[in-house]
Amino acid sequence: MRNMGVSDFPDAFKETREAKGVCPFNDQDDPVAMLLRFKDVRKSAHDYKSFISGAVPGRIVIPSEVNIRDTRQIPFEVDPPEHTEYRALVEDWFKRPFDSTYEAGLESIILSELEKVLKKGSCEAISELSLPIQSRALTLLLNIPLKEAETWISWGTHVFRSEDSNLDADKASILYDYIDAEIDRVIAQPDDSLYSVLLNSEYQGRKMTKEEVKGVLVLTFAGGRDTIINYLTNTMAYLGEHPEAMDQLRNNPALVNTAIEELVRYFSPLTHMGRVVAQEKEVCGHVAKEDTRISLCWASANRDEAVFENPNDVVLDRKMNPHVAFGFGTHKCLGATHARQLMKVFLRVFTQKVGKLTVVNAVENIEDWGEHQRKVGFDRLEIELNPIE
């Protein structure tokens, strides 16, 4: 067997997925039955009547955030039929990344960040590339001035996390206070940002409340931050160890279309997401009791050998790739168009500008799900970059 490289992301759930399919995980005395098989994950994601998202705010997130927030995230923590109406309000806005001006905006953001580090020759990839690119790109999605990203970058990678605790209410309040202030500013001075669009939207025949607007916006920060950062950082680690992939992407621009899907399958930046059981139901031989939690483990489903050939290999031109990295069904990722476009442009610009990437030092970020430890990304990734000859 060859040695584990920095860009190898092992399948953490294989044994349990094959033997049992369900894995218990105790989270703050509100246990979760993690569903690990592709079929069960998709079926249960589809069954929004038995497995609901509209529980107490924070409960479907694992680890549970029930004790640190009251704001309901919208449309994430709402079920149909309410979900359908909320989602319809924002669906078109979240398709703006298809526009060519949006793509050009992404390109200029990525180019300018990359040129900065190419001049230096080396950098820490998360703080000097992934975070600034993610933050600046988010200004396009919200349609606000680029300079606003400076504030978000100053928060660092773990806005919600402190040194000694994974769930820190004080840190989470930085984001809430910021969004409250922004909403008030936009009420006083309307503009053409997502804030204004939401404030002017009607839900069930009345204006959206400030609390609802906040519920939507907080999600664009929370859901689109660590996920994108890991997607970008892990991809750089991969390119560093696979110079042949750099060449292939450079010489065959159409390859990015399948490559972005394969990389997001392989990395699965969001490991799983919970649901609360509304009515007792059997899944995979496990009786999910009413008012307990299950989770849909996207990361495990994406390595299921029953569906994917050679699931642990990165096959950039994988033709059939029904991955669930962006979720499945009702709550499938609203930010996926943005994420995909960002990655497409990133791969294009990166392979055109960078000749060689060398990983100098890596500190892995390992998630702890009881019996299972899963590598989801890095806490640090020091790299050297050489411009293309």
Can you tell me which of 143, 173, 248, 258 binds another protein, judged by CB under 8 A?
258
Does position 326 interact with ligand HEM (CB under 6 A)? The reply is: yes
CA dihedral 124, 125, 130, 136 (to 10 degrees): 50
| 234 interacts with ligand HEM by CB under 6 A | no
Q: Which residue from 336, 353, 355, 364 is in contact with another protein, where contact means CB under 8 A?
A: 336
Taking the least distance from each CB to another protein, the nearer of 73 and 302 is 302
- Give me the least distance between CB of 298 and ligand HEM, in Å please: 5
Q: Residue 41 burial by CB count (10 A; 0-12/13-18/19+): exposed, middle or buried?
A: buried
Binds ligand HEM by CB under 6 A, chosen from 12, 23, 35, 167: 167
Q: What are phi and psi of 324, to 5 degrees?
A: -120, 30
- Candidates 8-16, 62-70, 287-295, 332-340 — which segment interacts with another protein by CB under 8 A? 332-340
Interaction between residue 293 and another protein (CB under 8 A): no
Residue (206 or 319) nearer to another protein, CB: 319
How many other C-beta atoms lie within 10 A of the C-beta of residue 329?
Answer: 14
Asked if 253 touches another protein (CB under 8 A), the answer is: no
Q: Among residues 118 and 258, whose Cβ is nearest to ligand HEM? A: 258
Instruction: Give the type of residue at 65.
Output: E
Identify which range of 147-155, 198-206, 333-341, 359-367 contacts another protein by CB under 8 A. Answer: 333-341
Report 175-204 residues binding ligand HEM (CB under 6 A): none
Cβ atoms of 299 and 12 closer than 8 Å = yes
With beta carbons less than 8 A apart as the criterion, state whether 301 and 41 touch: yes
Instruction: Choose from ligand HEM, another protein, none: what does 327 bind? Cβ within 5-8 Å by kind.
Output: ligand HEM
Distance CA 29, CA 57 (A): 17
User: Rounded to a whole number, what is the distance in angstroms from the first to the last CA of the chain?
Assistant: 35
- Answer for which of 72, 338, 344, 372 binds ligand HEM (CB under 6 A) is 338
Do 325 and 268 form a contact (C-beta atoms < 8 A)?
yes
- Among another protein, ligand HEM, none, residue 260 binds (CB under 5-8 Å by kind): another protein
Q: Is 257 in the site for another protein (CB under 8 A)?
A: yes
Positions in 89-128 near ligand HEM (CB under 6 A): none
Q: CB under 6 A: which stretch of 6-14, 189-197, 284-292, 319-327 binds ligand HEM?
A: 319-327
CB of 120 to ligand HEM, least distance (A): 25
Residues found near another protein in the complex (CB under 8 A): 39, 42-43, 46, 95, 257-258, 260-261, 307, 318-324, 328-329, 332, 336-337, 340
Residues found near ligand HEM in the complex (CB under 6 A): 53, 61, 63, 65, 69, 73, 75-76, 87, 141, 160-161, 166-167, 172, 218-220, 222-224, 226-228, 230-231, 264, 269-270, 273, 298, 325-327, 331, 333-335, 338-339, 365, 376-377
